[in-house]
Structure 1
């Protein structure tokens, strides 16, 4: 029991590290052999963001898998609540920063460091929440019944989808999230195998097999004969 609790604590700490804004983007790290100009500072910042973002995405997918492997429904729910609460705190903080600055999603990557950090944190946590929606849809969507959380996630999802520097693969994933949440019309071939309603259930026995079982001749009287017992099994 203690080992299981320690594992949950590890998962929580691991997830908490993924939603924090600790990774600082410094575009000058990439300018050692390139003359520094306004243009290449921004392009280097985008390149660094993309590199860090891909690393973060790999860690996030690992975290989602760890959460999905928690056997206890109640412990999984509590873990999700803690993780999603932290995600929403980061998204809210990022929204305040971005909106107060007048940042537009169609804009280039920000040159201001604090604004860049807010945007990076928003994108990372939107993607993390998107993974939870897709791979743990029933459990995660229950938390989005919270109107405040639902509003902030819709906002961040919309900003990310309008971004001019996110990859096609990331935008495709976010489009799947929007479909899962019915924020856009689902495409005819949309199917989420992780949704409870779509999980394969055992096929019912054919009616004639059930009748045969009912009509099977029942032997009169008990018997401990080894061959008889084997036949009945």
Structure 2
């Protein structure tokens, strides 16, 4: 296998690990919440979720940079499709679990472990997909044109925006994603430098007309030529 292919395979495995729900962590969440009082469970689990979510976000941003570093557009799109496919699988399963449980958008962080897992997984993968939309807008939006993926992501994005326990920074990022996808009206100052239409192109400067050189008339002094010499004598 070529070195470049190995690199792509490594990035794919790295992204897949980020998308996957970590069952060890969620079990630890459950065990830590047992020792606290019932009325404190929601507060503690939200705080723990936020810490783990920030760690996951750091990994996701690193994964996006790895994808951006791929020079070949064809290979980048191929990897992007595999990553988005996995993200959508997780979002779809999370949607099934959340809707079957009767969870309502805007509700607090759930106490039930299985429901917490589904919600956490959905939020993490929505944020990851949001990064891809913002940093690779043209390539990513091509995969979201009038299909099931588009429907799933709109649903997860809407649910995350209604979550009362997400930080302001996360909500601002999701707000930018909604603008990029034209799900809401773009604000006057909105600008995505990663969009192909906004990439800086060299500007052809107008040619400056060059001034014509004016030959200066040099007044001649006494000449040594025979004709002039005779007239001056």
TM (norm. structure 2) is: 0.85
Deviates more, 1:139-148 or 1:177-186: 139-148
Q: How many residues align?
A: 208
Is 1:189 the counterpart of 2:189? The answer is: yes
Shift of 1:99: 0.4
Shift of 1:104: 1.1
Name the residue aligned to 1:60.
Answer: 60
Deviations 1:57-107 (A, max 9, x none): 000000000001100000000000000000000000000000010101221
Name the residue aligned to 2:148.
Answer: 148
- 5+ residue gaps, structure 2: 211-233
- CA 1:146–1:67 in structure 2 vs 1: closer, same or farther (change >3 Å)? farther
Is 1:97 the counterpart of 2:97? The answer is: yes
TM (norm. structure 1) is: 0.85
Deviations 1:133-191 (A, max 9, x none): 00000000000015100000000000000001000000000000000000000000000
- 5+ residue gaps, structure 1: 213-233
Query: Equivalent residue of 2:90, what SS?
Result: helix
Q: Where do 1:83-162 residues align within 5 Å?
A: 83-162=83-162
Query: Superposition RMSD on alpha carbons, in Å?
Result: 1.6
Structure with greater Cα Rg: 2
Given that 1:27 and 1:41 are in contact with CA atoms closer than 8 Å, whether structure 2 keeps it comes out as no
Given that 1:179 and 1:186 are in contact with CA atoms closer than 8 Å, whether structure 2 keeps it comes out as yes
